[in-house]
């Protein structure tokens, strides 16, 4: 048995954490065992569960692979990732799920795979697979052109309710997009086009449909305070992304088309209000919507560039930086990155530093902040929208008791399907 000694947990207690057979054996003081690391003065958190990534395989391995994406995750303190269905082929049948799972065996961290919904989906075979969740179900087109109509969404929610599977929703109402914005060609035109009102209306509709059929709704990448409020009023859970928490339309002059994503960046006022909801406990989880594209693909007009930005390696460091500055408590960071995702998606082995849980652990020095540089990150795309911002990066990431990242090198490890 190995022991991480004198680590400060999210609640401020200093404890030893003993690890045996890939699990946390005990949490206490002066525990017996071989010392793995002396963590005096450092913070120990449960590994982040990123419930929203796009690792691009199959179909788009030139943007990211399960190998490169999972290494980027590990270097950022993410120990479980959940891949979304808009790959090629889209994950809308059992056979497509199986094909993606063959790529996922290259993952360094644990993983789950979501099933998708299109006119061509096959729920019979899809629900026969160990789905992490259904979705993201697109209520408006995004990368992969998987937007669906209201009747199909209701049918999908009904099927998910029967199978007791969470429905993750990309909530934007295309009927409320601003056609006038299409006359512009500046970087802010995308935000002007996909309006904040379109999100709020779609969230309200999604939670209404889900409530009518008894489905559990989780709203993906909520970008507005109004969207968060609508989710809470409707009894749904919601996630926010680091780019909607730390970036706004005021950054678009510098970001250009590299700041195009769905939903788009919002006003600085809305960004601040969203962060306040994170502080106040009204946001359930932070997930990255890690959606890498090559520099060449993003270097296009605002109407031709693909939507999406990388973020799996920088999410936890940005939140830890905010905690080190006193803007968030470490307990909130723990809850929105690990404990709450584990509760929402029924991952009873993960999400907390407790005896019997998987030893998915992240050790950080809260005083060791550094500048975020795309050249230092491990995603295949090689860039970041957070260039020049500060982050607190892990010096150790452990998945089920194995150190997969020691701050400098990766240790080869086979991630497991958390639903298998």
Backbone φ and ψ for 318, nearest 5 degrees, come out as -65, -40
Pairing relationship of beta strands 237-240 and 285-286 according to DSSP bridges: parallel
Is there a catalytic annotation at residue 289?
yes
d(CA 385, CA 87): 23
366: helix, coil or strand?
Answer: coil
Instruction: From residue 149, give the alpha-carbon distance in Å to each of 84, 98, 155, 202.
Output: 19, 27, 10, 12
Handedness of CA 311, 314, 319, 322 (dihedral sign): negative
- CB < 8 Å & 24+ apart, contacts of 24-33: 24/353, 24/354, 24/355, 24/356, 24/357, 24/358, 24/359, 25/1, 25/355, 26/355, 27/353, 27/354, 27/355, 31/3, 32/1, 32/3, 33/1, 33/2, 33/3
Residue 404 in contact with residue 74, Cβ under 8 Å?
Answer: yes
Residue 100 in contact with residue 88, Cβ under 8 Å?
Answer: no
Residue 86 in contact with residue 96, Cβ under 8 Å?
Answer: no
d(CA 226, CA 201): 9
Instruction: From residue 195, give the alpha-carbon distance in Å to each of 9, 180, 225, 388.
Output: 40, 11, 13, 28
d(CA 255, CA 388): 12
Candidates 16, 25, 251, 289; catalytic one: 289
Tokens encoding 97: 């799920």
Could you give the angle at the alpha carbon of 186 between the alpha carbons of 184 and 190, nearest 5°? 75
d(CA 200, CA 227): 5
**C-alpha radius of gyration, the chain, whole number:** 20
Which residues does the annotation mark as catalytic? 289
């Amino acid at each position: 048995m190995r022991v991480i000694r004198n680590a400060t947990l999210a609640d401020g207690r200093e404890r030893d954490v003993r690890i045996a057979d890939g699990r946390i054996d005990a949490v206490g003081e002066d525990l017996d065992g071989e010392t793995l690391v002396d963590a005096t003065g450092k913070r120990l958190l449960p590994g982040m569960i990123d419930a929203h990534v796009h690792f691009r395989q199959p179909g788009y391995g030139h943007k990211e692979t399960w190998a490169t994406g999972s290494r980027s995750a590990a270097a950022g303190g993410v120990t479980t990732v959940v891949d979304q269905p808009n790959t090629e082929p889209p994950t809308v049948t059992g056979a497509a799920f199986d094909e993606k799972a063959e790529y996922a065996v290259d993952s360094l961290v644990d993983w789950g795979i979501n099933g998708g919904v299109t006119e061509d989906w096959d729920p019979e075979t899809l629900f026969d697979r160990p789905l992490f969740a259904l979705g993201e179900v697109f209520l408006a087109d995004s990368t992969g052109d998987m937007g669906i109509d209201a009747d199909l969404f209701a049918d999908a929610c009904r099927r998910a309710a029967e199978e007791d599977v969470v429905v993750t929703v990309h909530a934007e109402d295309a009927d409320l997009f601003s056609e006038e914005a299409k006359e512009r060609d500046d970087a802010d035109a995308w935000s002007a086009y996909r309006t904040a009102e379109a999100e709020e209306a779609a969230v309200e509709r999604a939670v209404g449909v889900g409530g009518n059929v008894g489905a559990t709704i989780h709203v993906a990448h909520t970008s507005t305070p109004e969207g968060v409020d609508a989710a809470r009023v409707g009894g749904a859970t919601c996630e926010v992304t680091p780019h909607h928490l730390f970036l706004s339309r005021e950054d678009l002059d510098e970001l250009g088309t590299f700041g195009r994503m769905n939903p788009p960046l919002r006003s600085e006022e809305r960004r601040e209000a969203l962060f306040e909801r994170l502080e106040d406990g009204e946001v359930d989880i932070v997930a990255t919507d890690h959606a890498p594209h090559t520099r060449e693909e993003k270097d296009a007009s605002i109407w031709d560039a693909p939507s999406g930005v990388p973020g799996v390696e920088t999410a936890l460091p940005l939140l830890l930086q905010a905690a080190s500055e006193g803007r968030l408590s470490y307990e909130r960071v723990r809850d929105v990155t690990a404990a709450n995702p584990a509760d929402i998606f029924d991952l009873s082995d993960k999400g907390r530093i407790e005896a019997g849980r998987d030893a998915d652990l992240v050790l950080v020095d809260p005083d060791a902040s550094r500048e975020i540089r795309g050249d230092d990150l491990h995603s295949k795309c090689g860039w970041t929208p957070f260039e020049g911002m500060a982050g607190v990066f892990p010096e150790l990431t452990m998945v089920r008791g194995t150190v997969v990242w020691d701050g400098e090198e990766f240790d080869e490890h086979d991630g497991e399907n958390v639903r298998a």
